[in-house]
Amino acid sequence: MNDHPGSYTIRMPRSDDFDFWREMARSLIQHEAAPDRVFWSEPGGEGDLFADDELALPDTHANSPAVRANRRFVNLARNAILHSDPERFALLYRVLWRLQNNPRILEDKADPEVRRLEELDKNVRRDSHKMHAFVRFRLVENTHGGVEAEERYVAWFEPDHHILRANAGFFMRRFANMRWSILTPQGSLHWDGHTMCEGPPAERSDAPGDDSMEDLWRSYYASIFNPARLKVGAMLKEMPRKYWKNMPEAALIPELVAGAQKRESKMVEAGTLEFEDRPETLEAIDKAIHACRKCPIGELDNHAVMGEGPSDAALMIVGEQPGDQEDQIGRPFVGPAGQLLDSHLEKIGIERKASYVTNTVKHFKYVRRGKRRLHQSPGAKEIDTCRWWIESERAIVKPKLILAMGASAARGMLGKTVSISKVRGSPIPLEDGSELWVTAHPSYLLRLDGPAREEQARLFDADLAAVKERLHELSG
């Protein structure tokens, strides 16, 4: 049966199936099926199945003309197809149809169909961005016969568009070592550390409520909420009301807004942010940083890298942020800068294994150039946001001496920017009684050569030697 005689009705098998749409569209164009003869429907929607014999397109011949679609169109279409607008399949087909005669149509910014396509693409990208930022996992324990307990994290999210499957890879990479499920009204994803499975749509009540991680998020969020910098309106715009109920920290919004004035003056007085309810173990920090998206760096395709070393180390060595190799391996200072650091530590006689080695910023900030990810230094705001985690590590490890390597690490420790050449070589007392020593970052040495490198290596060794001697005094 065909509702539209002389036409084709295509029912999509899935709302987000770009490959299916592309195959159908290619065939239709090769059969010169004008857009007004093609009717597209959502899965489960009204309309006849394309598989109906009467409606099936005859096979295309090997010598059918090639269908023209430039890369820009394919990229836009791949995203736009995830939009919830039921008209999207038809719109895409109309644009593809027109592209056959006018390959430059996408350059016409005034064209209403091109404009609509770009709008769909933008809405979908925004929805994915919100999903990356606002998914909050809650810890649940699965018990097997009451004996084994296995940790699992479950999140509830309500996307506006069909973005769940398209974002599976992001969450898989981000939370590779966790077992997790993301439940949505459109379907669910389940990751067990090895395999991704899809499941049926879920309801809000299928996801758990409060858990202990929420306190951590709440206190972290409260601590970075700086009314002096953040306009409440901008924050609320970024975090639409519909996501509030899923986000533990959102419970704080009314309180934060009301208390903004008071907190501001308190912070100005103290010259610092106020921290509450810190995580109590390094393991808790490790778990929490993986879910941290409080600055744009956490939004990139990267992994949080936790500090490593004894939890009672007398020396804490602090770098800037993980590099490409650290991000992949999941340990600080294992790439070229780490190898250089190791050789200098060994030369001076500081045992790396006895030190706690960590970074100011926990995620790798980069720009992509082809297949390469090029390091980018974190900005002051990103360093300040991430201070919460290094301060938490410090509160647990309680090092006697901290060696900050480079300007970012120095800012992470002091909350302000200092000139390395001015502060290196002598201790800076910290409020908890420990001492901060500042030196250059080993990557700086790596960028030099010849006599300049030799000179900087000498200064670096001299700083390490002073740290070693001071540690000896403090331990004695």
Binding footprint of ligand URA on the chain (CB under 6 A): 319-323, 326, 332-333, 335, 337-338, 359, 443
Cβ-based nearer residue to ligand URA, 96 or 464: 464
> What are residue 191's DSSP bridge partners?
180, 196
- Find the shortest distance in angstroms from Cβ 288 to ligand URA: 19
Cβ-based nearer residue to ligand URA, 127 or 326: 326
Cβ-based nearer residue to ligand URA, 253 or 337: 337
Q: What is the CA radius of gyration of the chain?
A: 28
Buried b (16+ CB within 10 A) or exposed e, 158-194: bbebbbbbbbeeebeebbeebbbbbbbebbbbbbeee
Residue nearest to ligand URA (CB): 319
Pairing of strands 180-184, 148-156: parallel
Token pair 């519909």 is found at: 242
Cβ-based nearer residue to ligand URA, 260 or 446: 446
- Find the shortest distance in angstroms from Cβ 420 to ligand URA: 14
CA distances from 127 to 89, 133, 234, 376, 426 (A): 19, 10, 17, 26, 50
- Find the shortest distance in angstroms from Cβ 391 to ligand URA: 18
CB-CB neighbours of 417 under 10 Å: 11
- Find the shortest distance in angstroms from Cβ 469 to ligand URA: 24
- Find the shortest distance in angstroms from Cβ 358 to ligand URA: 8
* DSSP secondary structure code for residue 295 in this structure: S
**SS3 sequence of 241-273:** HHHHCCCHHHHHHHHHHHHHHHHHHHHHHHCCC
Cβ-based nearer residue to ligand URA, 248 or 338: 338
Cβ-based nearer residue to ligand URA, 188 or 443: 443
- Find the shortest distance in angstroms from Cβ 447 to ligand URA: 12
Question: How far apart (Å, rounded) are the C-alpha atoms in residues 256 and 258?
Answer: 5
Nearest to 167 by CA among 118, 123, 127: 127
Nearest to 303 by CA among 325, 320, 335: 325
Nearest to 412 by CA among 422, 403, 421: 403
Cβ-based nearer residue to ligand URA, 156 or 333: 333
Cβ-based nearer residue to ligand URA, 188 or 359: 359
- Find the shortest distance in angstroms from Cβ 323 to ligand URA: 4
CB-CB neighbours of 87 under 10 Å: 12
Question: How far apart (Å, rounded) are the C-alpha atoms in residues 379 and 412?
Answer: 11
Cβ-based nearer residue to ligand URA, 38 or 440: 440
- Find the shortest distance in angstroms from Cβ 321 to ligand URA: 6
Helix (H) or strand (E) holding 402: strand 401-405
- Find the shortest distance in angstroms from Cβ 412 to ligand URA: 10
